[in-house]
A and B are shown apart, each in its own frame.
Chain A
Amino acid sequence: MAVDTLKPTLADKDAVLAGLPDHPALKAVLAWNPQALIDAKLDRGELTLTIAPEEICAAVAAVQAAGYNAFDDMTAVDWFPSSPRFQLSYHLSSHSFKERIRLRTLVDEANPAVESITSLWPAANYYEREVFDLFGIRFENHPNLRRIMMPDEWEGHPLRKDYPVEGYR
């Protein structure tokens, strides 16, 4: 079955905390730092935990230690013109629980920077370079934060919503 329609939607943090008391990732985050968990949502069978931006690397470490051993994906969404502008989504899965979660953090436009998770997962290296290249979000302590898709001398960040898609640049 492609779509699990039977799974209920838990719209906010309180509902998720009440509805999923035994979820390993949720337990790990709460045991690590309950203040850093800003919001949580279970929608279409996917659990999303919103974390404070300055804590994202530590949150990923806590979830990794709880058994989410595989890094699936990491990318950004530009919510221009609302503020905070950028959303970073980390998809992490567990080979033993056979389950995937999403960690999400919102980053301000003024100084878009978060801590790199390459020390936890070398796999994140290219993904963070891609987000840096196409969105202009910096990752502190990244070993090699260069453009990856666009030429090195390129100006601007093409996946931003205010990047011109036609006409002369």
Chain B
Amino acid sequence: MTETIGTPILEVPVAEGAKDQHMVLNMGPQHPSTHGVLRLVLEIDGEIVVRIYPEIGYLHTGIEKTCEAKFYQQVVPLTDRVDYLNPMANNLCYALAVEKLLSLEIPEKGQWLRVLLAELTRLNSHLIWLGTHAMDIGALTVFLYTFREREEILRMFEALAGQRMMTSYIRIGGVSMEPPLDFFARVQAFIKTFPEKIDEYSNLLTGNPIFRNRLKGVGYLSADDAVAFGVTGPPLRASGVDFDLRRDMPYSGYEKFQFKVPTSTVGDCWARYEVRLVEMRESVKIIQQALDGMPEGAVNADAPKILLPDREKMKTQMEALIHHFKIVTEGFAVPAGEVYQAIESGHGQVGYYVVSDGTAKPYRVHMRYPGFTTLQALETMCKGRMLADVVAVVGSIDIVLGEIDR
């Protein structure tokens, strides 16, 4: 093959005629640094990456097809399992899409609670990213530290929803139940110490010469390329595009919160690291505002035909029993139409495209997940770099294969 490969960072001395002999190397699907079952077919010239062909689909479960056979409310648990590290964001996006179809409005307290949970989930997602990314680079200790904090978030989720990871807590029309009495105090205690914990991670990594050298100048993505490849979330902002759906196309009451959107113009793996660290600090501020200004009143919308009634009411009131029976056996009809709802999750733009034909089951649910799109930019980021840089770049774009293969 006679392709020019840009400017390699190292000139590897090669024998006469050997330059045309590129090697094809399979990385994955069982490679630990691919965070799941990503298979990368790499064409390499010595140690230098010439091309990358990502092969995906190993985790494809046909979840969009499954959605078509379920009632609207039964799709909520399926959304948890798509991006399994970001459960509340998935629930929220799907719930917002169906609420848009139903023209259903959520009380202010419900919206604020959802914002709080979406930000806690962002912290959860970023903590896993930081731990595993540092581990890929070789800094094992950070993983133990970030998982210590993540454990507390998961315990709070367990107290809230009865489940650590597959929460299914945010439902169509509100949330599944009122948060436990000590929940807000627990969140307050957690975020009070959390900025110190971010300093701790930063102390372990920011000054670490190995970590710096592995990330700085690696995996460069220009702003134009980022937009052309549909990259969203922290990688987009690290490339210098100042766009965040929470601020620019607000949903669920985000317009009432004050926060900064961190950006960088460097566009390499280090910039993505810095952007995510600042994003965690901003999430803490949003959670603090949500705790301070949490409105009084009901969490769920007053929609007895859509939300399951209280257990107590169901046992004492005829109406509630009928509604319960109807929702469980027949679901609820959703007016015909199509909506696309996008939110900013930890990885980038999550979008749900829900098409209704007027029945109780969605006609089509399409899930747009950031990893699927960002993966297309991988070749641009790795071309002409060393093989070991692929590990750093894959870590820095924070992929979850569940969301890519669906």
Residues of A within 8 A of B (CB): 1-3, 5, 43-44, 46, 48, 69-73, 75, 77-78, 89, 91, 93, 95, 98-100, 102, 121-126, 134, 147-151, 158-159, 165
When A123-B376, A148-B57 are in contact, do A1 and B230 touch as well, CB less than 8 Å? no
Q: Which 3 A-B pairs have the closest CB atoms?
A: A123-B230, A73-B368, A75-B366
Cβ B375 vs Cβ A126 within 8 A: yes
A sample of 14 more A-B contacts (CB under 8 A), given A44-B101, A75-B366, is: A1-B105, A2-B105, A5-B103, A5-B105, A70-B227, A77-B355, A91-B351, A95-B241, A95-B243, A98-B249, A123-B230, A123-B373, A149-B406, A150-B57
Report how far A77 CA is from B364 CA in the complex, Å: 7
Cβ B351 vs Cβ A72 within 8 A: yes
Shortest C-beta distance, A142 to chain B (Å), equals 13
When A2-B106, A98-B249 are in contact, do A89 and B229 touch as well, CB less than 8 Å? no
- 15 A-B pairs in the complex with CB atoms less than 8 angstroms apart: A2-B251, A5-B103, A5-B105, A46-B338, A46-B340, A73-B340, A75-B364, A77-B355, A77-B363, A77-B364, A123-B228, A126-B375, A149-B405, A158-B62, A159-B64
When A2-B96, A149-B56 are in contact, do A44 and B337 touch as well, CB less than 8 Å? yes
Tell whether B303 is near chain A: CB-to-CB under 8 Å.
no
When A3-B100, A46-B339, A159-B65 are in contact, do A126 and B241 touch as well, CB less than 8 Å? no
Residues of A within 8 A of B373 (CB): 123, 126
Partner of B65, one of A77, A147, A158: A158
Residues of A within 8 A of B57 (CB): 147-151
Q: Which of A78, A123, A125, A148 has the most CB of B within 10 A?
A: A123
Cβ A48 vs Cβ B338 within 8 A: yes
Cβ B99 vs Cβ A3 within 8 A: yes
Cβ A165 vs Cβ B65 within 8 A: yes
Residues of B within 8 A of A73 (CB): 340, 351, 353, 366, 368
Residues of B within 8 A of A (CB): 56-57, 60, 62, 64-65, 69, 96, 99-101, 103-106, 111, 227-230, 241, 243, 248-249, 251-253, 337-340, 342, 349, 351, 353, 355, 363-364, 366, 368, 372-373, 375-376, 405-406
Q: Which residue of B lies closest to A120 (CB)?
A: B228
Residues of A within 8 A of B105 (CB): 1-3, 5
**Chain B binding surface SS class:** mixed
Q: Which of B342, B364, B405, B406 has the most CB of A within 10 A?
A: B364
Cβ B228 vs Cβ A100 within 8 A: no
Residues of B within 8 A of A91 (CB): 340, 351, 353, 368
Report how far A70 CA is from B105 CA in the complex, Å: 29
Q: Which residue of B lies closest to A71 (CB)?
A: B230
Residues of B within 8 A of A70 (CB): 227, 230, 243
Residues of A within 8 A of B364 (CB): 75, 77-78
Partner of A126, one of B100, B351, B353, B372: B372
Cβ A2 vs Cβ B338 within 8 A: no
Shortest C-beta distance, A151 to chain B (Å), equals 8
Cβ A3 vs Cβ B65 within 8 A: no
When A44-B100, A122-B376, A158-B65 are in contact, do A100 and B229 touch as well, CB less than 8 Å? no
Report how far A78 CA is from B338 CA in the complex, Å: 13
Shortest C-beta distance, B347 to chain A (Å), equals 15
Report how far A98 CA is from B249 CA in the complex, Å: 6
Report how far A102 CA is from B69 CA in the complex, Å: 26
Residues of A within 8 A of B353 (CB): 73, 75, 89, 91
Residues of B within 8 A of A89 (CB): 338, 340, 353
Shortest C-beta distance, B118 to chain A (Å), equals 13
Report how far A73 CA is from B339 CA in the complex, Å: 12
Report how far A4 CA is from B337 CA in the complex, Å: 15
Cβ B230 vs Cβ A149 within 8 A: no
Residues of A within 8 A of B241 (CB): 95
Q: Which residue of A lies closest to B352 (CB)?
A: A73
Shortest C-beta distance, B327 to chain A (Å), equals 20
Residues of B within 8 A of A69 (CB): 227
